[in-house]
Amino acid sequence: MDELNNNIMEEVMRRLSAVASSSEEKCCEEAAAATSPTCNLTEYVGTTMGHTIGLVIANVDHQVHEALKIDPKYRAIGIISDRVGAGPQIFAADEAVKATNSECLLVECPRDTEGGAGHGSLIIFGAEDVSDARRAVEVCLREIPRTMGDVYGNSAGHLEFQYSARASYVLNKVWGAPIGKAFGITVGAPAGIGVVLADAASKAATIDAVTIATPGNGGTSFSNEVNYFFSGDSGAVKQAIIAARDVGLQLLKALAPDEELKSTTTPYIL
């Protein structure tokens, strides 16, 4: 009987996964896939959770170069692109640029998360040499399971927290983070939760607000998030995040009390 049940459930789940993967959690819970052995294209670097793909082009065609308004000196580009998540990929990209001889040329955040409330991302690294561009993509892919650690979701929305002890060029380019200082973000969806997170963060420690993104102020792509960006002393930034996270988990839980609300991977802000 149980076997029957299991057979049926397997069949059901198989069909389901063909129908849709429109929930953020599902996507985030995917095991971080290693480089797929099925793709032999030279442009392919690898994939990871959040339907993230890493790609590289050794010598970008001049018409595409121009259309994308990329400085011609970057003959090689690395690409990170995903459906679920922008913060995790952008913080990972900041580490990638620190660790490699590459620049971040473009960061755009489509309205996505496969039916969820937030963004995907498109990140382009530039390098003069293809091995540097590829290396940036590899570092970024490797960092993403870590930066997914403080992403929490249920059917009603999601929360995200990111922390960097020393913000570098990507965080500066995207959100105006002061370079070299500790930098944190709190994300709440639906957006109203994000307002309370911002307030809780600001009250918990002495931090400097950098900016706030709301659904309609241009800081998001009309996503259902309020995102708060702040810098400051390393301990204060962490303390602000931890206080906001505690509040956010309670509020998002209230919208879906029967669902477990847990880290996508393993929390890293301790």
Residue 53 is a binding residue for a copy of itself (CB under 8 A): yes
Give least dist CB 13 to a copy of itself, A: 7
Q: By three-state DSSP, how is residue 229 classified?
A: strand
Q: Which of 63, 71, 73, 270 binds a copy of itself (CB under 8 A)?
A: 63
Task: Round to whole Å and give the CA distance between 269 and 187.
Answer: 14
Alpha-carbon distances, residue 95 vs 86, 91, 103, 141, 165 (angstroms): 14, 7, 11, 11, 11
Q: By three-state DSSP, how is residue 162 classified?
A: strand
Beta strand spans in the chain (E): 44-48, 52-57, 76-82, 103-108, 121-127, 151-154, 157-164, 182-189, 208-213, 226-232
Residue 130 is a binding residue for a copy of itself (CB under 8 A): no
The smaller minimum CB distance to a copy of itself, of residues 130 and 212, is found at 212
Q: Give, as ranges, the residues between 140 and 179 that touch a copy of itself (CB under 8 A).
A: 155-157
Give least dist CB 270 to a copy of itself, A: 22
Q: Give, as ranges, the residues between 69 and 128 that touch a copy of itself (CB under 8 A).
A: 77, 79-83, 106, 108-112, 114-117, 120, 122, 124
Which region holds residue 115: left if phi is over 0, alpha if psi is between -120 and 50, else beta? left
Give least dist CB 49 to a copy of itself, A: 11
Q: Which of 32, 169, 259, 268 binds a copy of itself (CB under 8 A)?
A: 259
Burial degree of 36 (CB within 10 A; 0-12, 13-18, 19+): exposed
Burial degree of 108 (CB within 10 A; 0-12, 13-18, 19+): middle
Only segment of 33-41, 138-146, 162-170, 171-179 that touches a copy of itself (CB under 8 A): 33-41
Give least dist CB 137 to a copy of itself, A: 10
Residue 15 is a binding residue for a copy of itself (CB under 8 A): yes
Q: Give, as ranges, the residues between 200 and 239 that touch a copy of itself (CB under 8 A).
A: 202-203, 207-209, 211-212, 214-217, 220-226, 228
Q: Which of 180, 235, 254, 262 binds a copy of itself (CB under 8 A)?
A: 254
> Which residue type does 186 have?
T
Give least dist CB 179 to a copy of itself, A: 21
Give least dist CB 43 to a copy of itself, A: 5
3-state helix, strand, coil in the chain (%, to 5): 40, 25, 35
Query: How many residues belong to the site for a copy of itself (CB under 8 A)?
Result: 94
Give least dist CB 95 to a copy of itself, A: 19
For 148-190, where are the alpha helices, taking DSSP H only? 169-175
